[in-house]
């Protein structure tokens, strides 16, 4: 089974290079060159992944990602951002808006394809998914096979990165995870410079699973170490 990837890139040469690389990997690709076209294609085609350039005309990548993550958009579609901006604030803003990974230009096509494979695998949209059992803790249930999260029985929409963090923590309640360990759950990399991105994912998860995100009762900070899911199994 191949994936259908939406490529939103205003540079025609870059877009064609990505398209050819995807075809060589056995995927199909749709290419668009501006923000409104990206939103129309995402909503109409329901792709398995969006490769999203930040510097799109009309609506930039931040705006596209924000719209996709709204309730009336496509909150479950993985997004890999491409940026010529290496500033940490830009990267963190993209992650806060719901991007699952990012790459800074210039990049090699091989590295991009490796990142795409990782995001697809972790989002459950690639081959080889196994029927994992549902894990439960602190009133949270995570179903890897169906890629579903429930809080006290109510469905919760999570991005693929948020899902992987919650899956790891729900499987081992009360275990304290470092930022690096949670980063490896979401990206499979070991780049300390991006560990702050975990804080953004935790903040977003608290908004979704806590009664009062400012006073979390489930997803707790262990100062100087990392985070844990508190509340026990069940």
Q: What is the pLDDT of residue 80?
A: 94
- Strands (E) in the chain, as ranges, are 4-8, 28-32, 49-53, 79-83, 101-104, 135-137, 140-143, 148-151, 154-156, 177-178, 219-222, 226-229
Q: Tell me: the pLDDT tens digits for 138-185? A: 899 998 777 889 999 899 999 888 888 898 898 888 989 898 888 877
- 83 pLDDT band (50/70/90 cuts)? confident
- 70 pLDDT band (50/70/90 cuts)? confident
Residue 37 has pLDDT above 50, yes or no: yes
Q: Which of 6-15, 25-34, 168-177, 184-193 has the lowest mean pLDDT?
A: 184-193
Q: What is the pLDDT of residue 145?
A: 72
Q: What is the pLDDT of residue 35?
A: 94
Average pLDDT, the chain: 84
Q: How far apart are the first and last CA of the chain?
A: 35
């Amino acid at each position: 089974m191949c994936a259908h990837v939406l490529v939103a890139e205003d540079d025609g040469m870059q877009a064609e290079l990505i398209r050819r690389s995807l075809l060589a990997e056995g995927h199909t690709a749709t290419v668009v060159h501006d923000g409104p076209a990206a939103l129309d294609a995402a909503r109409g085609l329901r792709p398995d992944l969006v490769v999203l350039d930040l510097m799109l005309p009309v609506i930039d990548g931040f705006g596209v990602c924000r719209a996709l993550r709204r309730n009336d958009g496509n909150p479950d579609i993985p997004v890999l951002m491409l940026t010529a901006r290496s500033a940490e604030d830009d990267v963190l803003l993209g992650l806060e808006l719901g991007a699952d990974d990012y790459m800074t230009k210039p990049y090699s096509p091989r590295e991009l394809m490796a990142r795409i494979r990782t995001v697809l695998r972790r989002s459950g949209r690639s081959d080889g998914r196994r029927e994992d059992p549902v894990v439960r803790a602190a009133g949270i249930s995570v179903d890897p096979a169906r890629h579903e999260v429930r809080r006290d029985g109510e469905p919760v929409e999570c991005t693929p990165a948020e899902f992987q963090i919650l899956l790891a923590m729900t499987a081992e309640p009360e275990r304290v995870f470092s930022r690096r360990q949670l980063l490896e759950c979401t990206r499979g990399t070991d780049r300390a410079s991006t560990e702050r991105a975990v804080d953004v994912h935790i903040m977003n998860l608290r908004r979704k699973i806590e009664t009062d995100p400012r006073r979390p009762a489930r997803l707790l900070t262990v100062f100087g170490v990392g985070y844990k899911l508190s509340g026990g199994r069940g």
